[in-house]
A and B are shown apart, each in its own frame.
Chain A
Amino acid sequence: MEKFDLAVLGGGPGGYVAAIRASQLGYKTVVIDKSELGGICLNWGCIPTKALLKSAEYYDIVNKRAGEFGLSVEGVSFDFKKIIKRSRDVSKRVVKGVEYLMRKNNVKRVKGYGNFIDKNTLSITDADGNETEKISFDKVIIATGGRTKILPNIPVDREKIITSREAMSLEELPDELIIVGAGAIGVEFAYFYSVLGTKVTIIEMLDSLVPVEDREVSETLKKAFLKRGIKIHLSTLVKEAVVEGNRVKVTIEKNGEEEVLTADKVLSAIGVVGNIENFGLEKIGVKTERNSIVVDKETYATNVEGVYAVGDVIGPPWLAHVASHEAIHCVERMHGLDVQPIDYNSIPGCTYTIPQVASIGLTEEKAIEAGYELKIGRFPFSASGKATAIGEREGFVKLIYDAKYGELLGAHIVGAEATELIAELGVAKHLEGTFESLLKTVHAHPTLSESIMEAAGEAYGEAIHI
C-alpha cells in the first residue's frame, strides 16, 4: 500500500490545484478522480460552455451585424455538430494541460473511485466496484465538487429533461427549449440556443434574471433577452414537468395562475448540491449539513482531524475560482504559512451572455440592507469612445461606495468584456482602494476600462466624459 503525505479526492479546480500547491510545498501527493482531471469546470462547465458561447457570438455578429461594420456576408450558416465538437475538443485540450501539470509537479494520479476505509486510508475501486488498490495518507482534502440539483417535480431523464451537461453535448439543435432557473448557467444556455434559432423560454422563481446581480444589471440583461425574442417568466414556479411523447409539458404557476408550456426539451438549472455521498464520508464521521461538508472557512478543516474539504462540496459560492483559492489557502495553512483568509465579500462572479455580466461585492440593494449610506457612480458604455468604435455601446459600469469612508462596496458591469474588466475592481477591493485609487490611476485610452475610472469619478462628481 503506497503511503502519501496528502491525498486529494477529486481532480477539479479545487482538487488539482490543492495537489499542485501541496507538491510545491514538498508533500508527497496523490490525486484521485474517477474520470478526467479538471472536474466539471474543464469537462462540463466553465470551459466548454465558453467555447459554445464564442461560436454563438461570432455567428450572431456576422449574421445580424455584419452590415453595421460595412461587411457584406451572404449565406451565413452554422453546423451545430461542429460547434459541439469544437467545444469538446477545447475541453480535451485543457484537460491534457492539467494532466501535464500533474506530471510536472510529481503528483501521483489515480483513476478510480475513492472510498474511505478510515480517515487515513482510501480504497480505490474501478467502475464495477472491484478494488484496484489501497492508498494511505496522513491528511486528505475532499474536493469532490457538486452536481446539478434535481427536484422531484422536474425529473431529469437526460433525454428530454436535461442538465447543463447534456445541454452542451446535444446531437441536434432543439426547436423549443424551456430553461428552469435564470442563474448564470440558465441564461448562458438561453443566449446560446436563442442565437442559433431555438425558441427559448426562461422560468425563474425570483423576480429577476441573474438574481444575485444588481437589479439594474438584471434589467439590462432582461431587455437584451426580450429583444432577442427570449420569453421570460419571472416570479414563476414550476409545478411539474412531464414528458409526453416527443414533448415535455411544463406546468407553471405565476401570480396564483397556472399555465402549461411545452417544448422539445427542458433544461433544469436550478442550483448545485455537494457530492457528499458514496465515498464513505459517514464512516469517518465528517459532519455535513444541507448537502455540504461543514468546514472552518479559515483552515478548511472538517470536524475530523486531518480531513479537509474545499470547493463546491463545502457549499456556495459554487465557483471554480473560489474552489482553487480555497485549495491553495487550505494547503498553505496546513503547511503553517501565515496567509490571509479568503474575503468572501470580494469574489468576482461572471456570466458570459451577450451582454456579459460581471460583479464583485455588494449590490445596491444588499448595501442598503447592510445599512450603508451610498455614493453610486455609473458610466454607460454609450459614452465611451472605444465602446462606440467597436460597436459595443450596450451596458454600463456601476460602482457602489460607502459614503462615510469611501470604501468600494461593490462593482457591477454589464456589457462587452465585462468579465475581463471586473479584475481591476478585484484588485481595488483587495487593496482597500477608494474611488480616488481608481480615478487617479491612469487608464489607457481608448479602452473600455476607462469606463471604470469614469464611473469612480461620477460617484464624486468628477467624471469627465459624462
Chain B
Amino acid sequence: MKEKILMPKMGESVMEGTLIKWHKKVGDKVAKDEIIFEISTDKVDTEVPSPVDGVLSEIFLNENETAEVGAVVATIEVDGTGTEEVEEASKEEAPEEKAEPSSDDDSDLVDVLMPKMGESVMEGTIIKWNKAVSEHIEKDEILFEISTDKVDTEVPAPVAGVVSEILFDENETVPVNTVVARISVSGKVHKKKVVEEEQKSAETEETVEIKSEVKDSVKPPTSSNRFYSPLVMNIANRENVPFEELEKIPGTGAKGRVTKKDILNYIKNRKAAPAVQQQSQTEFSFAGGTEVIPMDNIRKRIKEHMVRSRDTSVHVSEMIEVDMTKIYNFIAENKKRFLERENIKLTYMAFISSAVIKALKKYPLMNASIDGDNIVMKKFVNLGIAVAVEPNGLIVPNIKNADSMNIRGLAKAIQELSYKARNKKLSPDDVVGGTFSLTNYGVFGALFGTPIINQPELGILGIGAVVKRPVVIETPEGDVIGIKPMMMLSLSHDHRLVDGMLGGLFIKEVKDSLENFDVTSV
C-alpha cells in the first residue's frame, strides 16, 4: 500500500512550499516520524517527518522546486517493498485496470483543488477547461481558468499526467478547496462513462446529492464576519441565494443581522425584478432583432461595484488644465533611451502618478477612507490604475507603497500591472487595499471625464488626452499665442469627506508639479 506524502500547509496564508533538502532517497527505509525532507515557505523553514514506517518509493519534487500546499511530494510503500517491486506492481495493475474498469484503485490520482485566491474569496467559477478528460498535461500547464470575486486567473496542473476526471462543468461555481479534477500520474484514464451510467441509473439519488452540494456552496460562513441564523441559511439554500449575494443583503436585525424578514423581502424583490425585465424583453422583440446575452462574472461585478460606489460616495468633479510641455519634451527626448537601456516605457502615467503621490502626501485626507463615522488615515499610498481588459472588462490593480517609488519605479510598476491585468496574472492582493486611483480615458482622445470612485477610496483622477492647442502665453513683452501640449485632469472626490476647497488645492498641486517638473530628478 502506498502512502502519499503531501506538501504540508504551514499556515493560513501559506499556499506553497519549496523543497530545500531531501534526507532520504528512493529505496531508503523510513521510520515513522523520521525526517524525510525539509521545506521552506514564506514564513518558516520546517522539517517534514514520515507519517508511516516504510520505504520511500517515489519522489515527485526535486530540491529547490516549489509545490502548492497539498501536492504530492513523495510516496512511501508501507509494506516495505522497494521501488522496483512497486513499479512492477503498478505495471501489472495497469492492464488489469483496462480489462476491468470497475476497479477502484485511485492511488495514483492527484486531486486538483479549486484554489484559494485570497483571504475572503470562498468560491470560484470555472470559466474554461483547457484540457479534456484523457488529455495529457504537463506540470504547470494551464488546466482551467477560474473567475472569483476579485480576479480571473488560470490554474496550472500540480503534476504532470493525464486528466483523469473533470468533476465540474464550465460556469459552475465551486467552494475553494473542492476537488474539481483528478490527474492520473501514471496516465490512467478514469472511467467517466461508468460514472455517467451510474448517475443515470440512480437519477433520484443524484438530485438529492446535487441539492446538498448547492447547500454547501452557500454554507461557508467562515468567510464572513456576519452571522446568519440557521433559518436564514436554509432560506438562502432553498431559494438559491449564493453566499456572495447573501453578504449584500442589508440586515435590520440586532447589530445589522439579516433576519428571516430581510431575506424574504430580498427574495421577493429579486423575483419581482426579472418579471419587469421579461416585459421589456417582449417589447423589444416586437421592435425586432434583439439578443439576450448573460453577463459574465467580471461584468456582473463591475456592474455591482459601480452601483455601490454611486450609492456610497457623493461624487463631485473638478477639472483643471495642465501645460505638459516639459514632460512632453522630456519623453520625446528620452523615450528610446529608457526603452533600450532599462526596458522602461516612459509614459505620461508615470509622471502623473508621481505628481499625484506628491499631492496625496501634502493633502493626506484625499488618501483616506471612511469607516462609519470614522476617518481612516493611511500613511501609505497604494495607487490604483484602471486597466481596460479585453473584451469588455475593467480592473483597478494598485501599486503597493507607490509613495516609496521614483519615476522609474512607477513606470515599471505600471507596466507590470497592466501586463498582469491583461493576461489574467493578477493576484487578489493586487486589487485590494488601494488608497487613490487614476483612470486614463485620454488614450482614446477624450478630454474630460467624470470618473466613478473605486471604493472605499475617496478620490479618482481622470486623465485626458494630451493635445496640442493654441494657448495664450504671457511674456514680459506681452501676451502671445503659442502651441502647447495641453492636458485636462478631472478629479472626482467624495464630498462626504473631501470638500471643494481640498479638491481644488489637490488638483492645483498636481498641476503645479507637472508643469514645473524637474527633469533632472528622473
Interface residues of A (CB under 8 A from B): 340, 404-408, 431-434, 436-437
Contacts and interface: CB of A to CB of B under 8 A. Distances in A.
B238 A405 contact: yes
Enumerate the 5 nearest inter-chain pairs by beta-carbon distance, A residue then B residue, closest first: A432-B229, A432-B231, A434-B230, A406-B234, A405-B235
B260 interface: yes
A431 B231 CA distance: 9
Nearest to B230: A434
Interface string B256-275: 00011000000000000000
Contacts of B522: none
A431 B238 contact: no
Interface string B1-43: 0000000000000000000000000000000000000000000
A359 to B, nearest CB: 19
A272 B259 CA distance: 34
B254 A433 contact: no
A434 B235 CA distance: 11
Interface string B231-244: 11011001000000
Given A404-B238, A433-B230, A433-B231, 17 more contacts: A405-B234, A405-B235, A406-B230, A407-B231, A407-B234, A408-B231, A431-B229, A431-B230, A432-B229, A432-B230, A432-B231, A432-B260, A433-B229, A434-B230, A434-B231, A436-B230, A437-B230
B253 interface: yes
Nearest to A433: B230
Nearest to A438: B230
Interface string B355-380: 00000000000000000000000000
Contacts of A404: 238
Interface string B215-255: 00000000000000111101100100000000000000110
Nearest to A406: B234
10 contacts: A405-B235, A405-B238, A406-B231, A406-B234, A407-B234, A431-B229, A432-B230, A432-B259, A433-B231, A434-B231
A158 to B, nearest CB: 46
| Interface SS, B side | helix
Contacts of A437: 230
Contacts of B230: 406, 431-434, 436-437
Contacts of A405: 231, 234-235, 238, 260
A305 B229 CA distance: 37
Most chain B Cβ neighbours within 10 Å, of A340, A405, A431, A437: A405
Contacts of B254: 340
B214 to A, nearest CB: 15
Contacts of A432: 229-232, 259-260
Nearest to A341: B252
B442 to A, nearest CB: 47
A60 B229 CA distance: 44
A61 to B, nearest CB: 40
Contacts of B235: 405
Contacts of A436: 230
A297 to B, nearest CB: 15
A434 B232 CA distance: 9
A434 B234 contact: yes
A134 B313 CA distance: 54
A436 B260 CA distance: 16
Given A431-B229, A434-B231, A407 B260 contact: yes
A340 B234 CA distance: 22
A434 B259 CA distance: 13
Nearest to A435: B230
B5 to A, nearest CB: 36
Most chain A CB within 10 A, of B234, B235, B260, is at B234
A436 B219 CA distance: 14
Contacts of B238: 404-405
A226 to B, nearest CB: 39
